[in-house]
Amino acid sequence: MTTPTTDSRFHEFGSPQRDISATVAGAAVSRATRETLTRWRVHRLVWVTDSLPHGLGTGPNRWAAASSEPENLGPRCWSGDVEVDVRSPLTAQAFHAMLLAEQVAYLRTWKPEKSNWDGPMREGLAGILQEEVKSQPLPFLENARQFTQLDPLYSTALVRGFSEGLNGKTVSDWKPFWAFANWVLAQPDPETEIRDEFTGKTRLGRRWQSCRLDIARFLDATLDGKLALLPLIERASVWQVIDALRCDPSPVPADEAREDECIMDPLPSSLNSVRGVAVNTVFSFIRWIRSHSPDVARGGQNLDDVPEAREALEACLNLQLALPLTIRSAFGANLTRLAYWAEAWLRDHLEQICPVPSEKEQPNIAWETFIRFCSVDSKTLALLREHYSAAILRTSQPGLAGHRRQDARVNLGKNLVMSYGHGMLDFEQPGDLLAAFFAHAPGSVRAEVMTFVGSSLAQSAGSIPPGIFARLLKLWNWLVQRENPAGGPGFQDRVA
């Protein structure tokens, strides 16, 4: 990563050169105004020092010295030898030259000499550790036990280094990692005041939450086969970690109580919470077990071969009323997997996972997640046909749109269009779900779905199978004729 030479944030206040020139001209300003201006210069121009006009290149150093604790100097990140904002007390080369025991001892004993935004910090040292682990993950994983009793920043960096460096490598002994992970998960982690090294400010948070989240992500990626091969003999150890992670308090329903604070959809939010990732990892665990058990039919009717996962999922469903939206969305995101792996179990629990919505109830979050993010196959479509029919009848009601979630009715239409493209629906047949959707959905919703069909045809003509393209083209022509039989300009007005 290299330091940017331009910063689009300049444009918030016009040309920086114009502002600098006005200051150089000697405008009379108060002390408070000068301080504000100085802080702005440091904040905005720190990234482009080398690109400033002649004579101004040394300005940021003088401005920083004159400013009292400048705040928030851009993103805090690191990459190898390039350090941006967050400094390490050691270079990457010096840290690499140490023996592993010396590295651990240094991490355990080093402390910043003072609290200063431009001095070396633990966060910078954690970045050096992460790059070192990424470059040679196996020795660190085999000695992971030695990294207990360290600051949470270093533990998090260790796990992230594993996630970035283990791809395709063979781990001979997983026990040290399980010991490290279980030690982290055993640490008390109440909400407390956490001081930010960079700004000096404090905030409420949990010191181990980031490390827990990265352990969950690492385990999920490993079970999905994206990192090192995980043998089935590790089953008990894997589940011990998953079981601890799924009991993490984050998130709780109170976290989602205020609509204006929920800036992401529930599924992306679940992938940024410990328990959300852990629940998704339960489904990855089922896939991992099945991949090692060729004698178990892929279309298994239940989850008897994975009782630990079955009990965990049923425990979540038994707490449905207190279950955060992010956790419910994890079930919706895995409906197709469940239909493939455990159709009988899914049929028994479908009403708990995804209740059929009535005309007056709010849409179920598992259902919204499914129709927005998941591919559908013929088995899932058959299992959920009643849900599709009920959702189609609800399209006349206002949709849930805005900054938090897209309109569920539009997502429903897109899902049905994709099902049609793969030959699972046919608008020319009686009782067809896609035809019913266009018969019930209001014009604004139909217009958005039609735009989706048109853009798909325009952008994907050469990249999708000819059969699917032909079906979508047939659907487009049918929609054009249906919306405006006369073929006049009114059709353009409808889809604009």
State pLDDT tens for residues 256-307: 654 444 445 777 777 888 999 999 999 999 999 988 876 655 545 789 889 9
Measured CA to CA, the distance from residue 105 to residue 130 in angstroms comes to 16
Q: Is 205 helix (H, G, I), strand (E, B) or coil?
A: strand
Give residue 49's pLDDT band: very low, low, confident or very high (50, 70, 90). low
User: Which residue has better confidence, 48 or 332?
Assistant: 332
For 166, half-sphere exposure in the C-beta direction (CA atoms, 13 angstrom radius) is: 27
64-66-67 Cα angle (round to 5): 65
Average pLDDT, the chain: 78
Highest mean pLDDT out of 43-52, 390-399, 465-474: 465-474
Concatenate the DSSP letters of all residues of 85-129 into one string. SSB-SS-HHHHHHS-HHHHHHHHHH---SS--TTSB-HHHHHHHH
Q: How far is CA 31 from the centre of its chain?
A: 44
- How much of the chain, in percent, has pLDDT values that exceed 90? 44
> DSSP string covering 299-351, please?
T-SS-TT-HHHHHHHHHHHHTGGG--HHHHHHHHHTHHHHHHH-HHHHHHHHH
288-297 contacts at long range (C-beta below 8 A, 24 or more positions apart): 288/223, 288/224, 288/225, 288/230, 288/238, 289/232, 289/235, 290/341, 291/225, 292/232
Q: 7: closest CA among 51, 70, 56?
A: 51
Closest listed residue to residue 313, CA positions, set 266, 278, 364: 278
**Which candidate, 403, 425, 419, 321, places its Cα nearest to that of 370?**
419
- Indicate whether 493 pLDDT > 60: no
Give me the mean pLDDT over the 217-226 stretch.
94
Confidence of residue 43 (pLDDT cuts 50, 70, 90): low
* 3-state secondary structure at position 248: coil
For 427-448, how does the pLDDT look when each residue is reduced to its tens digit (9 = 90+)? 999 999 999 999 999 999 999 9
Minimal CA–CA distance to 73: which of 47, 52, 36?
A: 47
Q: Who has greater pLDDT, 460 or 24?
A: 460
Cis peptide, bond prior to residue 75, ω within 30 of zero: no
